[in-house]
Structure 1
Amino acid sequence: MTIKIGISACVLGEPVRFDGGHKASTFCLQQLKPLVQFVAVCPEQAIGLGVPRPAIRLQRDEQHNIRLVQSRDPAVDHTSQMLAYTEKLLPGLASLSGYVVCAKSPSCGMERVRLYDDAGQQLGKIGVGIFTRQLMHHFPWLPVEEDGRLLDPALRENFITRIYACYDYQQQMLDGFSTAKLVNFHSRYKFLVMAHSPVAYRELGRLVASAKLFDAAELSLRYLTDLMQALKNIASRKQHANVLQHLQGFLKKSLSQAEKHELTDLIHRYRQGYLPLMSPLTLLAHYLRQYPNQYVAAQRYLSPYPEQLGLRA
């Protein structure tokens, strides 16, 4: 099966913005598109707003409700239409493994969307697009990212890591959840989690260990949600180095003193900032070919997404 990723239609290059333009993402179109199936959505066009169309904005009324209104004529209110459309659409998006939304959009923005009061005064960049707010509430586990933030290498790598972890979990549980499947999945992901959040590494371990205390559906959702939240943290050099040292430990009986010293040195130099992550990873992979270790080789930390994306380079 192909990974399905939701995406704002304008980010995919479709001319559906209010001014008839688009916000095509080079990364999505050139690097990600060959590997996934995009599901393009333009909520504004879907509720009947034409192209081009009057600009809209988020506005907070006296009761502090957030409304989606026309910028020049706030009496034209699209909130009910947007909420009804979103409620109807969301159940059909349950198979998605991620979603790329359009930054700053009053319908699709993930954060820092301009919010206005009834008088038309800007309250600050404190809003969330109406559609995306409902999306994230309905699927709290779903990796969601904005097109603009994907220009940041660390955020881009983090988002793709979450997408592939989410998809792997969905595939693992495709024909039903079981504790055995959960244990198998967690055993492959524990070091990836450790790199992103040592605290979550311990908490998820305890959750899996006490799996029999939970209802299956509740446990499945809780694990996936907690996993996605843990992976949302950007892994630091210190945390990567810690994981690399742990993985090296599994090979200590196989490596010679010279090999141990070489790998230890590379990990240390990476931690200090002198080398990229691929340096110790490449040497570790080399030693794994020489001295096979099934448990270490199965760790998704070593290969969290397709190599051709080049995100760790």
Structure 2
Amino acid sequence: MDARPAMTRPRVAVSGCLLGEPVRFNGGHSRDRFLAGALGPHVDWVPICPEMEAGLGTPRETLRLEGSDRGPRLMTRTSRVDLTDRMTALAAARTAALDVDGYVFKAKSPSCGLHGIPVHRESGPPADRRGRGVFAGVVLSADPLLPVEDEGRLHDALLRETFVERIFAHARLRELLTGDWRPRDLVAFHARHKMQILAHDPAAYRLAGRLVAQAGNRPRDELAADYAGAFRTALSRKASVGRNVNVLHHCLGMITVDALQRADLVEVIASYQAGLVPLSVPVTLLRHHARGEDGGYVLGQTYFSPYPADLALRNHVPA
């Protein structure tokens, strides 16, 4: 019997142009194949185009960030209209009502870009290339632990796998805490996520365990907030090869295999640690050997099925 839980669909905000909506400044789009293709069937998208929602229309005049004594300003390039306050107010209103498990922003956008946005002088070359889009900055300030990426960085296999893992974890947490949960439900949720949390942050793993031990003895909302903070903080820290190896050995110790099988599994884990095989190899083998009577706990760990299997993201993550 497969002990793996059913997948919860994440709700993910996304720059609308990345799904093929014709909302770019030139009336075109920037459809991303991974987002609109492979990931699309597994998530519920919340498309947002700040420029369109701010009433700029399309096609429209291009924008850029310009430095000032009040910080970067969002300016139209030719007509010199300052849109900063309008965009900031829109972002604040949008963020207050935004109930999502992650956000994918359009790269290099002066409103939505996360990294490396040029901050120009009124004339001449940019004074700084470390800016952040005005809209994106408000979203991140409101929720620093929200999983966010831009479509450019999602071309990197490790960043892609990390982001997708986080949005599915956040979705499961949201599903739990927005329901009529009881202390035993929080205990069960944590039990399923133990190895996943441990792979990301051993300190948060210990903190989360202490919080769960208080279930039933603390006010419900207070406990939920503290546990959510610990859980989301843990997942915000990238899993390392060393911590993955630690988890794999933990799980190996929980299943019954003969001496030869154990030696084979230890060798495969060592091959992953040495960078010779991707993480998917030891994970698949451990899951295969956990099908005996004592394998239910291991198979039930979200570490082994953090997102839908057909995404196959761990196949491309180097050690």
Same fold (TM over 0.5): yes
Question: Which residue pairs with 2:30 in the alignment?
Answer: 23
TM-fit CA distance, 1:34: 1.2
SS in 1 for 2:17: coil
Q: 1:85 aligns with which of 90, 93, 112?
A: 90
SS in 2 for 1:88: helix
**CA deviations over 1:194-214 (Å, ceiling 9, x no partner):** 112223323333343456786
Q: 1:56 aligns with which of 59, 63, 76?
A: 63
TM-fit CA distance, 1:134: 1.5
Instruction: Report the more deviating stretch, 103-112 or 176-185.
Output: 176-185
**CA deviations over 1:13-63 (Å, ceiling 9, x no partner):** 12211122322111001101111221111000111112121111222321x
Instruction: Report the more deviating stretch, 291-300 or 212-221.
Output: 212-221
Alignment-mate amino acid for residue 38 of structure 2: Q
Root-mean-square deviation (CA, aligned residues, Å) is 2.2
TM-fit CA distance, 1:163: 0.5
Question: Which residue pairs with 1:312 in the alignment?
Answer: 314
Is residue 61–residue 118 contact of structure 1 (8 Å, CA) maintained in 2?
Answer: no
TM-score, with length taken from structure 1: 0.90
Q: For 1:193 and 1:158, locate their aligned partners in 2 and report how far apart those are by CA, in whole Å.
A: 13
> Is 2:73 the partner of 1:71?
no
Instruction: Report the more deviating stretch, 179-188 or 159-168.
Output: 179-188
Q: For 1:218 and 1:102, locate their aligned partners in 2 and report how far apart those are by CA, in whole Å.
A: 35
> Is 2:163 the partner of 1:159?
yes
Q: For 1:211 and 1:19, locate their aligned partners in 2 and report how far apart those are by CA, in whole Å.
A: 54
TM-fit CA distance, 1:153: 0.4
> Is 2:184 the partner of 1:180?
yes
Question: Which residue pairs with 1:14 in the alignment?
Answer: 21
> Is 2:152 the partner of 1:114?
no
SS in 2 for 1:290: coil
TM-fit CA distance, 1:215: 5.0
TM-score, with length taken from structure 2: 0.88
TM-fit CA distance, 1:9: 0.8
SS in 1 for 2:18: coil
> Is 2:295 the partner of 1:296?
no
**CA deviations over 1:127-154 (Å, ceiling 9, x no partner):** 2211111112223332111110110000
Q: For 1:43 and 1:17, locate their aligned partners in 2 and report how far apart those are by CA, in whole Å.
A: 11
Give the number of equivalent residue pairs: 308
Q: 1:275 aligns with which of 252, 274, 277?
A: 277
Q: For 2:207 and 2:116, locate their aligned partners in 1 and report how far apart those are by CA, in whole Å.
A: 31
Q: For 1:133 and 1:162, locate their aligned partners in 2 and report how far apart those are by CA, in whole Å.
A: 20
SS in 1 for 2:149: strand
**CA deviations over 1:233-282 (Å, ceiling 9, x no partner):** 3322222111000011112xx22212211211111122112222222222
Inter-CA distance 105–212: structure 2 relative to 1 (3 Å threshold): farther
SS in 2 for 1:89: helix
Q: For 1:227 and 1:168, locate their aligned partners in 2 and report how far apart those are by CA, in whole Å.
A: 11
Query: In the TM superposition, what are the counterparts of 1:76-225 in structure 2 within 5 Å?
Result: 76-94=81-99, 96-117=100-121, 122-176=126-180, 178-210=182-214, 216-225=220-229
Is residue 16–residue 47 contact of structure 2 (8 Å, CA) maintained in 1?
Answer: yes
Instruction: Report the more deviating stretch, 150-159 or 41-50.
Output: 41-50
Alignment-mate amino acid for residue 16 of structure 1: V
Alignment-mate amino acid for residue 69 of structure 1: M
Inter-CA distance 178–59: structure 2 relative to 1 (3 Å threshold): farther
TM-fit CA distance, 1:171: 0.8
Which structure has the higher relative contact order (CA within 8 Å, separation 6+)? 2
Is residue 113–residue 129 contact of structure 1 (8 Å, CA) maintained in 2?
Answer: yes
Structure 2 unmatched runs, 5+? 1-7
Q: For 1:54 and 1:271, locate their aligned partners in 2 and report how far apart those are by CA, in whole Å.
A: 51
TM-fit CA distance, 1:312: 1.1
TM-fit CA distance, 1:120: 6.0
Is residue 7–residue 100 contact of structure 1 (8 Å, CA) maintained in 2?
Answer: yes
